[in-house]
Amino acid sequence: MRLFPILISTVLAITVSSCSSSSSRSAKRAKNPLYPFGETAQFVSGKRAVAPRNAPPQVKGMIAAGNRIAGKRYRMGGGHRSFEDSSYDCSGAVSYVLHGGGYLESPDPSSALRHFGEPGPGRWVTVYAKHDHSFIEVAGLRYDTSDGRGTRGSGPLWRAGSRSYKGFEARHPPGL
């Protein structure tokens, strides 16, 4: 008879601890809290990212576009005369990625990207722009010509790490 209360207490303790540890495990799996697990692009290298299977076609198009120009040289004004260029600056690269998703018909400078789409971060895509720099996050991965620590001019690459958002306007394509 004395064993029964001890057995019940042990079972309850195991159940409660397993519930709390499973929720903390799932929280650790999500790399970016803005993007639910399963909706984050896979970072292969600076030059290649893979879209999640459940991503909308526009997101898949943006990631494919980013992959096409990743690793190209940085040049101020690059990618502004035409989407196709031998080198890109920050807003030229962001414009190319947005064009890949069907959102721009011509390249925009950073100052114009501050007014792109709708205000605030999006579920799948967020454009960050200020008067002198812009970058984009697509399905949780940052596409940027800067390492985010003040070094500019490295050319467009997918970057797994975060950066400062201070001074940037967050915008997103409608519905994304």
Angle of helix 90-100 relative to helix 57-69, nearest 10 degrees? 140
Query: pLDDT band at residue 117, thresholds of 50, 70 and 90?
Result: very high
Q: How far is CA 89 from CA 30, 66, 145, in A?
A: 31, 13, 7
Distance in angstroms (rounded) separating the CA atoms of residues 175 and 20: 34
DSSP H or E run through 109: none
Report the mean per-residue pLDDT for the chain.
80
Q: Residue 25 pLDDT more than 50? A: no
If you average pLDDT over residues 127-156, what whole number do you get? 87
Residues 6+ positions from 122 with CB-CB distance below 8 Å: 172, 173, 176
pLDDT value of residue 154: 80
Superfamily of the domain at 42-172 = endopeptidase domain like (from Nostoc punctiforme) (3.90.1720.10)
